[in-house]
Amino acid sequence: MLSFIKQLLQPKLVNAALAWRQLGNDASSGYWLYAAPVHLVLQRDTFSLAAPVPLPLEVEEISALTGTLNKHFEADNLSFFWHENQWFLKLLSNPNIETSLAENAVNKDISAFLPTGEGAIKWASFTNELQMLLFAHPINQMRETKGLPAVNSIWCYGGGQG
């Protein structure tokens, strides 16, 4: 019931597979998600999502981050793509999660907006691994020296079949 109410409250969104196809790309296979680079802020005992979402990044930053993520997760058959200011994540199959728009979680405790469903535990493990990889990335070290927020997580949402 909670899942149904959650869906009613969320604005309708073209799923990521359709969006990838509308951008002129092949989305005929796999399961696609939007993958927004974000900055999480540690509160006293929770995390909140900082605006803006997604974080604005330079092309060189995007290239370096997607290259690192793709190399690291290649064995898991996960692929990150960037096209026209949008990031996408392609998986081989549906991860069995229900997601929330990042915009709904801005400046709030993110725990109520994290993926739910049968695959949520496995997804949380993937997210933790991704965050550890981003933590020490040279792009983030460079951003922090410039006073810019680090890309310390990727917020995935809007999944759909290719």
pLDDT in tens, 94-149: 999 999 999 999 999 999 999 999 999 999 999 999 999 999 999 999 999 999 99
The pTM assigned to this predicted structure is 0.89
Q: Is 119 exposed, middle or buried (0-12, 13-18, 19+ CB in 10 A)?
A: middle
Angstrom distance (rounded) from CA 156 to CA 21: 18
Range of the domain at 69: 2-161
Partners of 116 in beta bridges = 98
Report how many domains make up the chain. Answer: 1
pLDDT in tens, 49-105: 999 999 999 999 999 999 999 999 999 999 999 987 899 999 999 999 999 999 999
Give the contacts of 43 (CB within 8 A, at least 6 positions apart): 109
